[in-house]
Structure 1
Amino acid sequence: MSDEPTSPELEKLRFLYRVQLSQVAQTERWIDAELHKLRERASRLPRLEGPEFLLSYLRAGGQPKADSVHLGDCRMVSHHTKPLDRDQARQAITSGGIRACEICRPDSELGVLE
């Protein structure tokens, strides 16, 4: 026999603990099954590619102001953007007076020298 003290309340709490562990394990299995379904469904969908170029806007006096052109996967882009195709990006940099991002260098990708 064990020297550990016990009581009916302690036994109830231990029982509750085992039940809760079982419930957590069941919930984890449900989560794993749902993740498996989502991954399987996502693998059947075609990958959507983002825009090749983005026009980044800043707020100036409460109005959006075109700030810079970025590659579509640039991490320096602001939260306010507009997708651009290759011709629009080239035009924005060359004749639109909008700067190219110094980090991702869309002007190099476009073959434009600033």
Structure 2
Amino acid sequence: MRIWHAMWLERIDRKVADLRQRQAEEERGRARRPPAPDWILELNRATGRPLAVHAGDCGMAGRRKRPVGQDDARRLLTTDGVPACPICRPDTSLHIVDGLVGVFEGSPQAARS
């Protein structure tokens, strides 16, 4: 009985050590992962043309995508006519209303109007 219990304790200890090592590796991987971009441009797989603008954490973006800056996202939505994702609504986050940059009270743009 003692040998049998010792064998099982050794197996359990090995399994615990393996799990701790795996968790440490996953944590190191998470720490090294680059931060998610603020905005994503989804591209057509066949032509490479823009399909939609997404928020950086949107799960609806396809496989072909590239990060874009805030100014580029605004330009794509307003000038270039790229549609906004209907799920994450980057146009709302960027204060764009009907293809125009929104003007709010108290903003420098509102004072010029």
| In 2: Cα distance, 1:51 partner to 1:41 partner | 20
Number of paired residues?
A: 98
Percent of residue pairs bearing the same amino acid type: 27
Which residue of structure 1 lines up, in the alignment, with residue 90 of structure 2? 106
The one-letter code matched in structure 1 to 2:24 is K
TM score, norm. by length of structure 1: 0.67
| In 1: Cα distance, 2:81 partner to 2:24 partner | 48
Which residue of structure 2 lines up, in the alignment, with residue 14 of structure 1? none
1:74-109, Cα deviation, whole Å (9 max, x unpaired) = 111111101011000000000111000111110011
Q: Aligned to 1:51, which of 11, 16, 37?
A: 37
- The structure with the largest alpha-carbon Rg is 1
| In 1: Cα distance, 2:28 partner to 2:16 partner | 18
| In 1: Cα distance, 2:61 partner to 2:23 partner | 33
| In 1: Cα distance, 2:32 partner to 2:83 partner | 34
Q: Does 1:80 align with 2:67?
A: no
Unaligned residue ranges in structure 2 (runs of 5+):
99-113
Unaligned residue ranges in structure 1 (runs of 5+):
1-16
